[in-house]
Chains A and B, each alone.
Chain A
Amino acid sequence: EVQLLQSGGGLVQPGGSLRLSCAASGFMFNTYGMNWVRQAPGKGLEWVSAVSGNGNSAYYADSVKGRLTISRDNSKNTLFLQMNSLRVEDTAIYYCVTNLTQGVFWGQGTTVTVSS
Chain B
Amino acid sequence: QSVLTQPPSVSGAPGQRVTISCTGSRSNIGADFDVHWYQQLPTKAPKVLIYGNLNRPSGVPNRFSASKSGTSASLAITGLQSEDEADYYCQSYDNTLNGWVFGGGTKLTVL
CB under 8 Å from chain A, chain B span 66-111: 89, 91, 97-105
Please, which residues of chain A bring their CB within 8 A of the CB of B57? 103
Interface residue count on the B side (C-beta < 8 Å): 22
1/0 contact string of A22-66 vs chain B (CB within 8 Å): 000000000000010100000011110110000000011100000
Secondary structure type dominating chain A contacts: strand
**B contact residues vs A (CB 8 Å cutoff):** 2, 34, 36, 38, 45-46, 48, 51-52, 55, 57, 89, 91, 97-105
- B93 nearest CB neighbor, chain A only: A99
Please, which residues of chain B bring their CB within 8 A of the CB of A44? 2, 89, 102-105
Contact A46 B102 (CB under 8 A): yes
Q: How far is the CA of A45 from the CA of B99 in the complex (A)?
A: 13
Please, which residues of chain B bring their CB within 8 A of the CB of A105? 48
Please, which residues of chain A bring their CB within 8 A of the CB of B99? 35, 47, 49-50, 59-61
Contact A45 B46 (CB under 8 A): yes
Measured CB to CB, the closest approach of chain B to A103, in angstroms, equals 5
Contact B45 A108 (CB under 8 A): yes
**A contact residues vs B (CB 8 Å cutoff):** 35, 37, 44-47, 49-50, 59-61, 93, 95, 99, 103-109
A-B Cβ contacts below 8 A, count: 51
Please, which residues of chain A bring their CB within 8 A of the CB of B52? 103
Please, which residues of chain B bring their CB within 8 A of the CB of A109? 45
Most chain A CB neighbours (cut-off 10 Å) among B100, B101, B102, B103: B100
Known contacts A44-B2, A103-B48; A50/B100 CB under 8 A: yes
Q: How far is the CA of A108 from the CA of B44 in the complex (A)?
A: 9
Contact A103 B51 (CB under 8 A): yes
Please, which residues of chain B bring their CB within 8 A of the CB of A50? 98-100
- B102 nearest CB neighbor, chain A only: A45
